[in-house]
Chains A and B, each alone.
Chain A
C-alpha cells in the first residue's frame, strides 16, 4: 500500500524545517503499526491528550488518539477538492444529533471513532481509526472529554478506565499526587487483566528514560526559537509535536527529536531563519487553527511576523519537568507518570497560565500576542480575556483576539479574521 504524503502546510514564505520528511516517515510508520496491530496480536487503546503512553508501549499496547486523528483529518482535508473536514461535523450533527454548541473536539473525536468507515479517507486505509479494545480517559483536560469517552465505550462495549484528577489551584497537592499514583497502579492492574500479561517494570523504566530524552531534545529545539531571527516558525514546528504525544516512551521518538534538534541547531549555526525578513515576534495562544495553518503562516509573513512560540506546543515540553528526573526506580517512574497526568496544563489555574505566558514572553522576546478564542472549548477559552488583560498590563505588549474554532472550519469568517489580523499587524508596523 502506497504511503501517503502527509500535508503540513505553513505557507510558501515560511522556511520550514526539512525534518518534515522524516516526520512523514515516522507518522506513516505509526499509522501502519496501528493498522497492523491486531494482526500482530496487539491490543488497541483509545487515549486522550495528556495521557502518558509509556505505560502502553511498555505493555505492547498500541495507543490511538481520537483527538489527534481528527486534528490530522481536518488538516489534511484543508485543500482544494476536499471537504475541509466539514463532513465530520455534518455527520456527527446529522446522524448522531450532536449540537453545534458541543466543543469541536467532542464532535470530531466521536465522529472519527464511531463513523470512521463512512468518512472520506483519501482512498487510503491508513487513515482509518481501528476499533478499540479498551479506552483510558481522564478529566485532566476537562469533564467533556471524560463524557464523550463514555459514549465511545458504550458504543463499543469495551472495558474502560477513567482517571480522576483534582483541579490544581496554586501548587500541586501532594495528597492529590498520592491519589493519582494509586489510580495509576490500579490502571496497571486493569491493563494486566485485559492483556493477560504482567507489566515489565524494566520496560517501563526504559520507556520513561526514552521520554525524558525526547523531552530534553524537544524542549531544547523549542528554546532555539528565542534566537533572532528565529530558526523556526511555531506553526511549522507544532507539526513535530505529534510523535511526542503519540510515541512518547519509544526509542523512535527520542531519536526523532535528537534529529530535529540537530537540524535546528544547524540552522542557528548557519544563520537560516524561518522568515528572513523577521520584524515581529508573535506568541500564539493556545492551539493553531488546524484548518488554516497555511493561511495564518502566509498572512503573518506578509508583515514580517513569525510565530516564535505556541502555548499548546510549549507546555508539552514542560510536563516532564514537573516529574522526577529520569529514574531507574519503577516506583518513581509510576509517580512521574501520575504527575504528568495531574499537571496537564488545562488542569491548572489562571496563575499558572499567566506564569507560563510571562515566561514565554520574556524567553522568546515576544513583541505581540495573538489569542484565539477556540470557540467552543471552555477549558481553553474561559481564561482568555484575563490572559489578554494581564499581558497588556504586565508586559505592555499588544494583544489581538480572534474568534474562530481550531477544528470546525465552519466557524471561521475569513473576511472578518483577515481584517482583524491585518489591522493588528499594521499597528505593529
Chain B
C-alpha cells in the first residue's frame, strides 16, 4: 500500500510517496510557478517515477500548503501547520518546537504528544524573514542563493539591517554595498534580521526542549547559525527539510487508512 503527501507552496511543490511501513519510497520538489494544480500533478508524476510505481498504486492522497484545496485527486486537505508538526515529530520524535521558514511564510509550532499542535504563530502581513526575502536579497547582491549561508559565516564585522520590510531592506542593502561594506557582513546581518523575527515568534508560543527546523530556508547554514545563536539551542535539521510538510501529509494519509502506529514510528531523517 502506498500513500502520497502533496505540499503545494508558493514557491515549490513537494511530493512524498510513502509505504505502509512509513518509508519514503520516492519524492520530488518542483517549482509551483503560476499553475499550482499542474505543479501538483507534475510533482506527483516525478515522485511516482522515482518510486517506480503508478498512480493507481496510491491509495490515498493528502494535500497541504496554500494550494491544498485545488489538488485534483486529493482526498483530504490539511494545513501545513498540522503537517509540519506531524512530519517533524515523525523524523525527530523528541521535537518540542518546529521552526518552518518557507517561501512566503514563517511559522513556529509548539508540539504536544503524538506530533499534535499545541500552539502556533506565523508571520503577520508581510514576507520579511521568509524565503522570498532571501531571494530578493540574493538578487540585489548578485549572490547565488546556495552561497548565502556559507559566505555569511565568513563575516568579520556585524552589520545591522534595520528595515522590517523586504522591499525597503533591499534598498538598504544596495546602500550598504555602495558604502563598501563586505558582502559577507551584509549577508550575516540579513540572516540575523531573519533570526530576530523568528525568535519573537518562538517567544510567543514558547520554546520547547528540542527544536526542529523545516522548510527550504533550513538549508541556509547562515540562517540556522544565527537562529541557534539567538535561541541558544542546537537544531535538528532533516536531510531534506523542504519535504517535511509532504511527509506529514503522507503520515496523515496512513493514519486515516488505519495504520495507527504511523505517527509514532521513528523514521530515519529524510
CB A377 to nearest CB in B, in angstroms, measures 16
The verdict on B37 contacting chain A, using a C-beta distance below 8 Å, is: no
When the two chains form their complex, are residues A422 and B79 in contact, meaning their CB atoms are under 8 A apart?
yes
The verdict on A82 contacting chain B, using a C-beta distance below 8 Å, is: no
Beta-carbon contacts of A56-67 to B below 8 Å, as 1s and 0s? 000000000000
The verdict on B35 contacting chain A, using a C-beta distance below 8 Å, is: no
CB A384 to nearest CB in B, in angstroms, measures 13
Complex CA gap A427/B110 in Å reads: 11
Q: What residue in chain B is nearest A416 (Cβ atoms)?
A: B122
When the two chains form their complex, are residues B117 and A423 in contact, meaning their CB atoms are under 8 A apart?
yes
Q: What residue in chain B is nearest A422 (Cβ atoms)?
A: B79
When the two chains form their complex, are residues B79 and A403 in contact, meaning their CB atoms are under 8 A apart?
no
For the complex with contacts A419-B66, A423-B120, 9 further pairs of A-B residues with Cβ separation under 8 Å are: A403-B124, A413-B125, A419-B79, A419-B80, A419-B81, A419-B105, A420-B122, A427-B117, A427-B120
When the two chains form their complex, are residues B116 and A427 in contact, meaning their CB atoms are under 8 A apart?
yes
When the two chains form their complex, are residues B79 and A426 in contact, meaning their CB atoms are under 8 A apart?
yes
Q: What residue in chain B is nearest A424 (Cβ atoms)?
A: B120
Chain B residues near A403 (CB-CB < 8 A): 124-125
Kindly identify which residue among A398, A415, A426 contacts B82, using a CB–CB cutoff of 8 Å.
Answer: A426
Q: List 5 A-B residue pairs with CB atoms under 8 Å apart, sorted by A's residue number.
A: A398-B119, A415-B66, A423-B80, A423-B117, A426-B78
Tell me the A residues contacting B by CB distance below 8 Å: 398, 403, 413, 415-416, 419-420, 422-423, 426-427
Q: How many residues of B contact A (CB 8 A)?
A: 15
Q: What residue in chain A is nearest B65 (Cβ atoms)?
A: A419
When the two chains form their complex, are residues A423 and B66 in contact, meaning their CB atoms are under 8 A apart?
no
Beta-carbon contacts of B106-118 to A below 8 Å, as 1s and 0s? 0000000000111
Complex CA gap A229/B80 in Å reads: 31
When the two chains form their complex, are residues B117 and A419 in contact, meaning their CB atoms are under 8 A apart?
no
Beta-carbon contacts of B68-85 to A below 8 Å, as 1s and 0s? 000000000011111000
Chain B residues near A427 (CB-CB < 8 A): 82, 116-120
Chain A residues near B125 (CB-CB < 8 A): 403, 413, 416
Q: What residue in chain B is nearest A411 (Cβ atoms)?
A: B125
Q: What residue in chain B is nearest A375 (Cβ atoms)?
A: B125
Q: What residue in chain B is nearest A426 (Cβ atoms)?
A: B82
Chain A residues near B78 (CB-CB < 8 A): 426
Known: A419-B79, A419-B122, A420-B122. A426 touches B117 (CB 8 A): yes
Complex CA gap A54/B119 in Å reads: 46
Closest 8 CB pairs of A and B: A423-B81, A423-B79, A427-B117, A422-B79, A426-B82, A403-B124, A415-B66, A419-B79
CB B266 to nearest CB in A, in angstroms, measures 24
Q: What residue in chain A is nearest B77 (Cβ atoms)?
A: A422
Q: What residue in chain B is nearest A398 (Cβ atoms)?
A: B119
Q: What residue in chain B is nearest A425 (Cβ atoms)?
A: B79
Complex CA gap A415/B120 in Å reads: 16
Chain B residues near A420 (CB-CB < 8 A): 122
Q: What residue in chain B is nearest A402 (Cβ atoms)?
A: B124
Complex CA gap A84/B215 in Å reads: 36
Complex CA gap A413/B78 in Å reads: 19
CB A429 to nearest CB in B, in angstroms, measures 9
When the two chains form their complex, are residues A426 and B119 in contact, meaning their CB atoms are under 8 A apart?
no
Chain A residues near B82 (CB-CB < 8 A): 423, 426-427
Beta-carbon contacts of B43-77 to A below 8 Å, as 1s and 0s? 00000000000000000000000100000000000
